[in-house]
Structure 1
Amino acid sequence: MRVAIAADHGGFEQKEQLKAYIAELGHEVEDFGTTNEKSVDYPDYALPVAQAVSSGSADRGVLVCGTGIGMALTADKVAGVRASSITSPQFAELFRQHNNGNVVCLSGRFVDLDVNKEIVKVFLSTDFEGGRHAQRVEKIMALDD
């Protein structure tokens, strides 16, 4: 699977470790920045990841900021993206199963790295259930029009 990843200054440290972890899981990772902990604007990093997922050049996206909230707000503005701030592996599983989520947004300041690793693992390994959820996702995606 091709995974696009990025972070702002609040998520930089965890992004670096998550990038290596995703590669260890056997996925191809493309890093869209940032490259240090200097203060930056999270929309500048969420946008290229969301665009990569929307265009199909990446299968899934992982974004990390202080809370995950700003990244989710930004990424979800891009047509074709279903992004959410996720704080537990259980939510990651449901996000994939019920919402066919394609960009997970993580908190680099309030969620431990080990928990974020498990969230990413679940996010990348869980399939969309389809069925009754497919109609609901179609309704959500129609709002992009």
Structure 2
Amino acid sequence: MKIAIGYDHVGYILKKDIIEYLENKNITVIDLGAPSTERTDYPIYANRVAKAINSKEADLGILICGTGIGISIAANKCQGIRAVVCSDPYSAKLSREHNNTNILAFGSRVVGSELAKMIVDQWLMAKFEGGRHQTRIDQIDAIQKGEFHE
């Protein structure tokens, strides 16, 4: 499995723990984040990770900013991306099972390193259930393409 990780200056410190954690699980990490803690703009990194997923360079993505909110909103503007911001493991798990999320986002000002690892674990272990949930994913995709009909 390959995971692309992107983060702004606020996520820079937490990303070190997450990358190490993933690599210890034998997951290949593609680091597309900020080069330092010097101020930068999170949409840059959301776009990089979304492109890596859409090009199949990465299977999934993780994004980190201060709250996870802005960076996930930016990622969700990209075709085919279903990014979720989570601050608890249960929501992360259900986001994969029901929404087939392909990007997990969280905030370094909201969750600490150990909670972030638990969130990542639950997200990675969960599998998309399909069925009625696939119908909803298809509707979301249609909305994104401007083709949704009620």
TM-score, structure 2 length as denominator?
A: 0.94
Higher gyration radius (CA): 2
Superposed CA RMSD in Å reads 0.8
- 2:33 is aligned to 33
Q: Which structure 1 residue ranges, 4+ long, deviate > 6 Å from structure 2?
A: none
TM-superposed deviation, 1:126: 1.0
- 1:48 is aligned to 48
> Would you say 1:111 and 2:93 are equivalent positions?
no
TM-superposed deviation, 1:66: 0.2
Q: Secondary structure at the match of 2:29?
A: strand
TM-superposed deviation, 1:144: 2.3
Amino acid at match of 2:38: K
Residues of 1 paired with 2:41 and 2:94: CA distance?
Answer: 29
Deviates more, 1:48-57 or 1:89-98: 48-57
Q: Secondary structure at the match of 1:78?
A: coil
Across the two proteins, how many residue pairs are aligned to each other?
A: 145
- 1:65 is aligned to 65
Amino acid at match of 1:117: K
- 1:98 is aligned to 98
Q: Deviations over 1:33-75 (max 9, x none)?
A: 2121111000111110011112221110000000000110100
Residues of 2 paired with 1:86 and 1:106: CA distance?
Answer: 6
- 2:87 is aligned to 87
1:54–1:78 Cα contact (<8 Å) kept: no
In structure 2, the gaps of 5 or more residues are 146-150
Q: Deviations over 1:70-110 (max 9, x none)?
A: 11010001101000111100000000000000001111111
Work out the percentage of aligned pairs sharing the same amino acid: 40
Amino acid at match of 1:90: Y
TM-score, structure 1 length as denominator?
A: 0.97
